[in-house]
Structure formats: C-alpha cells, structure tokens
Homo-oligomer: A and B are copies of this chain.
Amino acid sequence: MIISKLQLETELLSKHIKPTAMRILVLEFLKAQSQAVNLSDIEGGFGQSDRVTLYRTLKTFEQKGVIHKISTGTGVKYALCDSRCSEDSHRDTHVHFICNQCKKTICLTQVHIPEIEIPSGFQLQEYEVLARGICGVCSTK
C-alpha cells in the first residue's frame, strides 16, 4: 500500500504536528513496517539523518499520539498508535509480542485484553501486556 505525501501531511496536521520533510519521511517509514522498530532501524531507513533529530521527531510523535514506545527488555522500540490516539487520549492497551528467537516485536492490536483487577486504592489509567514466546515465522522453521 502506497500512501501519498498529502495523506501523510494531512495525518500529521490532524494530530497537530507541523508536517516537515523529516517528519513525513519518518512517518512513511513507520507505516511501512509490520513490526516495532528501534532507532537504528529508522536511521538505516534513510540515507542521511541525524540521530538527535530522530530522537526529537520520535518524542514529538509520542507526545502527540502518533507512536508509542515499547520497552522490550532489550532496548526501546517504536510502533504506530491507533489512529484514535491524540495528545489528550493516548491509549495503547494491547499486546506486544516479543519473539524470543528472532527478537521481533509485534503489536497484536486485535487481541482482546481482559480487564484486570487491581487492589483497592490503586487507580488504573492504562495498561499493556508484554508477551514473550516464539512468533509464527520462527515456530515453523
């Protein structure tokens, strides 16, 4: 699926982000991924790019609800949010599956997460599930 530059710009604007060249490139790259990626992956996705700018772009994206950060235990990864996420409402209540073999991190947004009960006194705001195991590709090898 090819997404036009205009579409990407519109999407950024809808999340109140000024659509600069760099931001469009990063968003385009992220949209092409089927898994969560780390900084080096994104860096390698372009010819030239400054690490610092990437960090800042990703921070902006995270704050505005474009992406969410995943702490995999072996480094931080980034993945696109649900389109309904925004600066005010940033919910990524879904399963992140980490393959213990190929180390891929995949957002399983379609998996239903049951409500969890927490002790009284605690106020739950959001939660995510980190699942580890062997992914579909690795288990057939």
Contacts and interface: CB of A to CB of B under 8 A. Distances in A.
A97 B126 CA distance: 10
Say how many copies of this protein the assembly contains.
Answer: 2
A21 interface: no
A130 interface: yes
Given A116-B129, A127-B132, 11 more contacts: A97-B122, A108-B118, A116-B131, A118-B131, A121-B139, A122-B135, A123-B134, A126-B131, A126-B133, A127-B130, A127-B131
Interface of A: 69, 71-73, 95, 97, 100, 108, 110-114, 116-119, 121-136, 139-140
Contact of A119 (B69, B118, B136, B140): B136
Contact of A132 (B100, B116, B125, B130): B125
B121 A111 contact: no
B118 A97 contact: yes
A103 to B, nearest CB: 14
A125 B139 CA distance: 12
Top-5 shortest CB links A-B: A71-B71, A121-B136, A127-B131, A125-B133, A123-B134
A128 B97 CA distance: 11
Contacts of A113: 116
Max count, chain B CB within 10 A of own CB: residue among A100, A123, A132: A123
